Every structure is written in C-alpha cells, then in structure tokens.
Amino acid sequence: YYQQLRQYGKLDRLRDDYINEHGADQASKQLFIYSALSYVNERYYDRLIALVDDYMSRFSDTLMHEDLLYWGALVDVLTGKYQPAIENFNIVLEEYPNSQYSMDCLYRRAMSYQGLNNLLNAKIDFTQFCEKYPDHPLRGEAEHFLGDIAQSNGDYTRALEHYTAVPKYTDNQAFIDKSYFTKSELQHNLGQTNDAIDTLLEFIEKYPEDGALEEAYYHLGLLNQALGRYSDRFKIHIDAIKDFGNDPTRYRVDSMLTALQPAYESLKNEFESSIDFLKNMLLDREELTRLIDDRAHQYHFFTENEDISEEVKFYFLRDRNFREALSTFKVDHSLNALEIRRERQLNIIQARGE
C-alpha cells in the first residue's frame, strides 16, 4: 500500500520496525524487496546501497542472503560498477541455482561483461540466455546485443541475423527501431545499399504508428542520395518535414531541416563544377592530355577543385574508356547540346530547391 502511494518514508519505518522485532523471515524478505524495488524505480541508489550494506552485516547468514546479493549486484550495474556486480551475480547463480533471480542475474551479468568490453563472456551469457529462456521478453534485447558483438568481431552475416531476430522476440519499440536502423546501416556499409533501403521500407510499413518514422525517412533519404538519387533524397526529406514538423518529439526533423539548404547548395556547386570541368576538358585538349599524363598536376588540380563530384573524379582517374571518350569527343556540334542539357538540369534543381 505504501509502495503504491509512493510513501517511502512510511514503508521504511514499517520495514525497520518489523525486522527489528522479528528478524529475517519471509515477511522481512518481502518488505526488503518492496523497498529495494522502490529505490530502483526512484533511482535512490545511495539509499539502496546503504540498506544492502546494513542488512548484509546483520543478515548475511539468513534466508535474505540471496536477495541482498541480487539487489546489491543490481545497484552496482546501475551505477557502472560492473566487476563487483559480476562477482555477486556469480554467487547467486552458483549457490542458488533455483533462485527467482537466476534469469535476471544471467542477463545482467552479460550486460556487465559487455560494459567491461569483455565481449567473449558477454556473448556466452547472452547466447545462454536466449537458449535457456527463448520466450522471455528480454530475448529480443539480447539478440540485439549479440548483433552488436558479432559486428564488433567482424561476423557481419551473423550480426544481420541477430538484428533481424529482434522484432520476433520483443515488444520494446525502442529496440525494434534500433535493430532496423542498425541493420540498415550495416547493409549500406557492406555495399548492400538497396537491401538497406528495403529494410527501412519494411520498417515503415510494419510500424506506421509506433515506429520512429522520421528517423527512418532521414536515413532513407541519405541512402537514396548514396545511390545518386538526389531528387528522391530531397523529396523524402521534404515530405517527412511536412508530416512530422509539428511534432516536437520527432527530433530528427531538425536534422533534415538544417541539412536541406546546405545540401542543396553543395549539390548545386558540385553539379556546376563537374559540368564546367567536363566542358573545359572537351575544349582544352592540351590541359586534358596533361591531366591524364602528369600525376603531380592531376593531384594538385583535383585538390584545388574539390567541388568536382567524386563520381566524375573516379571515372576520370580510374576509367580508361571514360578518358578516351573525352579525348575523342567531337566538339563542333555537341557543345550546344551539352549547354542545353546543363541549363535544363540547373532549372530542375532550382525548381526542386524552391
């Protein structure tokens, strides 16, 4: 009753009066657990530490020992003291194999190992947790952590499998969101950008109400840009701003808003510089030959002209057929078409920007 009303002072007095009179019995255990749970919920960690230390000095050889070990270890995890937490979890798991805390001890010991960057033991514990408690609500979170560990170890295929499994075993939307976004990012980094886009589209379709859609659209736009679909990137971001701009909890909207104008200017400069570069190469064959043959001049030129797109630089530096096409291009009748196309593209960019 006192716990539900959050009258913790009265709960403390009730607990102390009872324990001082009756010692450690089943009712004492329950009163201690009520207090410990209340302290954790309210983040009164110092009060819980003091209570555990006091009772450990008085009741360590009673039926409360198991509870004191667990709650002491839990507050150590919550305050970042992972090594002493692991030691107490070990005692509970070894001395009380049928404890009501066994499941939570195993899971939090895994988290503690991960906090110490002991990924080998963290992987062992998370794997054991998933095998021993396959239907537990924390299974999905454990799968996500296993994905992170696999990715750290360079086992990207396994990492993707773990991230994919997360939504099957948890209703925690924060972890579902994170699993999709992390999976998509990994796919992109592995060169599987189309798969990364499909992952985000699946997320948008499955979680239209509860998912962090503005985050999904933010990454979806950037992935489209990575594939050269610049107009798609702007359309996706502008539509997302229209849909979520009035919701102050959608923090990623700010990123899209502040990035639009610089991105537009950057792409416009890149496009103009690239077209001018190609045009000049067509008109100045001597400079074109020097750029192809003189590596030092090539290096200084592209260093000074950094607005030229990376794609054009790549083709010029790495693609012999591209360079030959530039060298053999018939200028007389084609530059007018190039100018018309350039003007048309700039008009399209300007219209979309507006």
pLDDT, tens digit, 9 for 90 and up, residues 232-287:
999 999 999 999 989 988 989 999 999 888 888 888 899 999 999 998 888 888 89
Say if residue 336's pLDDT is above 80: no
**Which CA distances in Å does 193 have to 151, 189, 199?**
17, 8, 10
Q: Which amino acid is at 110?
A: A
pLDDT for 342 equals 67
Residue 334: what pLDDT?
54
Each residue's pLDDT tens digit, 52-64: 999 999 998 899 9
Rounded distance between C-alpha atoms, residue 73 and residue 107, angstroms: 12
Smallest Cα–Cα separation from 224: which of 234, 209, 215, 214?
234
Q: For residue 9, what pLDDT is reported? A: 86
Alpha-carbon distances, residue 187 vs 147, 180, 181, 182 (angstroms) = 13, 11, 10, 9
How many angstroms separate the CA atoms of 268 and 342, rounded?
Answer: 11
Q: Which residue has the higher pLDDT, 15 or 3?
A: 15
Structure tokens at 142: 């454990």
Distances (CA, A) of 97 to 92, 102, 122, 129, 346: 7, 7, 20, 14, 71
Per the CB < 8 A criterion, the answer to whether 148 and 128 are in contact is no
Q: Which pLDDT does position 267 carry in this prediction? A: 87
Share of the chain above pLDDT 70, in %: 94
Cα dist from 260 to 185, 212, 311, whole Å: 21, 20, 21
- pLDDT score at 1: 82
Spatial distance between the Cα atoms of 148 and 69, rounded to a whole number of angstroms = 29
Using the 8-state DSSP alphabet, how is residue 106 labeled? H
Look at 334 and 351; give whichever has higher pLDDT. 351
SS3 79: coil
Which backbone phi and psi does 106 adopt, to 5 degrees?
-65, -45
Name the range with the highest mean pLDDT among 13-22, 36-45, 172-181.
172-181
Owner of token pair 């909207």: 253
